[in-house]
């Protein structure tokens, strides 16, 4: 289920193929984080010392750390202290600060903290050049599991200009700073409407990523969740300037959604290598230019497949080929084979027709890759094929393909004469609100408002914002008014799916109070999927 409304109760019906069903209610998160008036920590002056966030709030009243009203506060530890902010408390909000200068990281999260909101800040100038030094860091290392590190919300921050840069591929696998690093966490995170970039020449390794990438890299397989952790949503972000993956979603991939991000100047856009549970959803993302390093132009692929075998859904994404070259391949297996990948309605535009829109060099099973709009080769199990229901183009026929870095606005829709216009197949919930006779291929439906990315997305041009007010008048935040919940197509669905896609193992029926408009911003609410999984397990035991 996607495109739901915040703080709304839904009646959900879960039905198995045997016709056995269960109905229950679940409520999406409230975007309004209440603030305890007795736990407001206003900062009144700039500082060169680490800010220690140690005062926990509760679900009914968060502790707030923010500038005194009317002030702009900078905490610059000047490369003299390990962190700029050290978080050891839960139910806290860190808002509106300029944070810079940590030796290793900017915001360090203790391994047991949860329900932490990091919003409207600037994070910069951190690191020694070592690998996995994230501006936001939690969880220790590959072998450490952190099930209590969960519900981290990172929204509307600028995270930029690490102190040192990663190497590029000319000297081996990149190694260096990252934007967010959370190792084997409990998940249930939301990373939305942020801007990750470097304009000082110091590129990230991955922008978002950590580990463990594979279940064998942890002693506790069940808690070896990888990045970003289960029940997590990454959307509305601008991501740029890395020598490896913009988003390395490697690990369990259990109920993870990556959507409506704009990604440019990276080697790979989204990796799902090692996705060993699933389902992982990658939809309506836009891939811009690509970087390789050492004077070379053009990066690797839009997605990088893995060995884990967990289900991956790739829907309605757009690969651009701007003046600075884009990726050389679309859906690729450079991190493993393409088993259990399902694609629909993507614009898979490679640099030349001799390059691969889909690249699988052997070993893929249970895949269903078709119904796309492409110009390159389709290689499955190391054999070039003609996908029976996909549409090949010489020119995709964009009416608009522009992105304004200053405003975060992008238009990437097809013209009415394009072969992909009104030619996408129906995907319930994913493309219901189309503007023409049928949905269009790619991320952006024609005759709709520009897509929006980054810290200002949907604050002016989008839906009417909701002002979150605590029990005091000073603590406020502005957020979009609509939200979406976890998608619930089960990862156990392995049968190839047809053009009018429906789940084949079980289905859900949702009574929706109102469908939001296409193009609005959302806060994904992973809570509902927990109810669905429990209900499914109960029904399975009954049967």
pLDDT at res. 178: 97
Closest CA relative to residue 290, chosen from 313, 318, 319: 319
Strand partners, 517: none
> How many other C-beta atoms are found inside a 10 Å radius of the C-beta of residue 280?
27
> What is the H or E stretch that residue 304 is in?
strand 301-304
How far from 105 is each of 6, 256, 343, 419, 477, CA to CA, in Å?
Answer: 33, 25, 37, 48, 25
Along the chain (543 residues), what's the average pLDDT of each consecutive run of 10 residues? 87 89 92 96 98 98 98 98 98 99 98 98 97 93 85 98 94 93 95 98 96 73 86 98 95 93 96 89 96 76 84 97 87 81 97 92 86 96 93 97 96 98 96 94 97 94 34 28 31 29 32 32 43 40 38
Buried b (16+ CB within 10 A) or exposed e, 310-347: bbbbbbbbbbbbeeebbbbbbbbbbbbbbbbbbbbbbb
pLDDT at res. 217: 73
pTM (two decimals): 0.86
Distance CA 367, CA 102 (A): 45
Task: Note whether 169 and 203 are within 8 A (CB).
Answer: no
Distance CA 267, CA 299 (A): 4
Strand partners, 53: 87
How do strand 107-109 and strand 134-138 relate by DSSP bridges? parallel
Distance CA 38, CA 41 (A): 9
Task: Note whether 290 and 299 are within 8 A (CB).
Answer: yes
> How many other C-beta atoms are found inside a 10 Å radius of the C-beta of residue 512?
14
DSSP state of 55: -
Q: No. of H helices and E strands in the chain?
A: 1, 47
pLDDT at res. 497: 29
Distance CA 28, CA 6 (A): 6
Q: Residue 465: helix, strand or coil by DSSP?
A: coil
Q: 518 φ, ψ to 5°? A: -60, 135
Closest CA relative to residue 44, chosen from 70, 62, 63: 70
End-to-end CA distance of the chain: 25
Task: Note whether 14 and 20 are within 8 A (CB).
Answer: no
> Tokens for 542?
């009954």
């Amino acid at each position: 289920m996607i495109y739901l409304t915040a703080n709304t109760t839904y009646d959900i019906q879960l039905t198995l193929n045997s016709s056995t069903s269960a109905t229950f209610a679940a409520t999406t998160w409230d975007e309004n984080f209440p603030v305890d008036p007795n736990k407001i920590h206003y900062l009144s002056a700039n500082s060169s010392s680490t800010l220690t966030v140690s005062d926990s709030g509760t679900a009914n009243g968060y502790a707030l750390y923010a500038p005194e009203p009317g002030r702009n506060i900078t905490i610059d530890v000047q490369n003299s202290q390990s962190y700029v902010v050290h978080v050891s408390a839960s139910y806290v909000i860190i808002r509106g600060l300029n944070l810079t200068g940590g030796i290793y990281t900017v915001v360090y999260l203790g391994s047991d903290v949860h329900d932490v909101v990091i919003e409207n800040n600037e994070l910069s100038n951190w690191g020694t050049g070592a690998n996995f030094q994230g501006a936001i860091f939690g969880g220790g290392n590959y072998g450490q599991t952190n099930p209590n590190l969960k519900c981290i919300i990172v929204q509307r921050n600028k995270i930029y200009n690490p102190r040192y840069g990663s190497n590029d591929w000319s000297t081996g696998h990149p190694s260096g700073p990252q934007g967010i690093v959370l190792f084997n966490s409990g998940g249930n995170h939301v990373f939305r409407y942020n801007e990750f970039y470097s304009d000082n020449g110091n590129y990230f390794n991955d922008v978002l990523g950590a580990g463990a990438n594979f279940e064998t890299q942890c002693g506790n397989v069940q808690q070896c969740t990888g990045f970003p952790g289960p029940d997590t949503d990454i959307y509305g972000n601008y991501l740029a300037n890395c020598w490896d993956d913009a988003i390395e979603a490697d690990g369990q991939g259990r109920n993870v959604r990556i959507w409506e991000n704009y990604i440019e100047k990276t080697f790979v856009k989204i990796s799902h290598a090692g996705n060993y549970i699933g389902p992982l959803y990658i939809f309506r993302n836009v891939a811009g230019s690509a970087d390789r390093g050492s004077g070379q132009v053009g990066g690797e692929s839009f997605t990088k497949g893995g060995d884990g075998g967990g289900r991956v859904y790739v829907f309605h994404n757009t690969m651009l080929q701007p003046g600075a070259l884009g990726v050389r391949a679309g859906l690729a297996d450079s991190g493993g084979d393409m088993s259990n990948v399902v694609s629909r309605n993507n614009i898979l535009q490679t640099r030349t027709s001799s390059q691969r829109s889909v690249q699988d060099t052997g070993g893929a099973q249970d895949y269903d890759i078709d119904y796309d709009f492409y110009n390159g080769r389709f290689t499955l199990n190391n054999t070039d094929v003609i996908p029976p229901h996909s549409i090949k183009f010489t020119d995709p026929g964009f009416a608009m393909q522009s992105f304004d870095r200053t405003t975060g606005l992008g238009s990437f829709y097809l013209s009415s004469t394009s072969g992909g216009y009104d030619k996408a197949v129906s995907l319930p919930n994913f493309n219901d609100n189309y503007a023409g006779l049928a949905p269009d291929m790619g991320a952006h439906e024609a005759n709709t408002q520009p897509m929006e990315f980054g810290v200002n997305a949907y604050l002016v041009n989008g839906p009417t914002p909701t002002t979150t007010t605590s029990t005091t008048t000073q603590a406020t935040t502005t957020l979009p008014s609509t939200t979406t919940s976890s998608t619930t197509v089960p990862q156990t669905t392995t049968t190839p799916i047809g053009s009018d896609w429906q789940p084949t193992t079980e289905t859900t029926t949702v009574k929706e109070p109102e469908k939001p408009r296409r193009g609005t911003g959302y806060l994904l609410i992973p809570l509902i999927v927990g109810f669905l999984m429990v209900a499914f397990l109960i029904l399975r035991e009954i049967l």
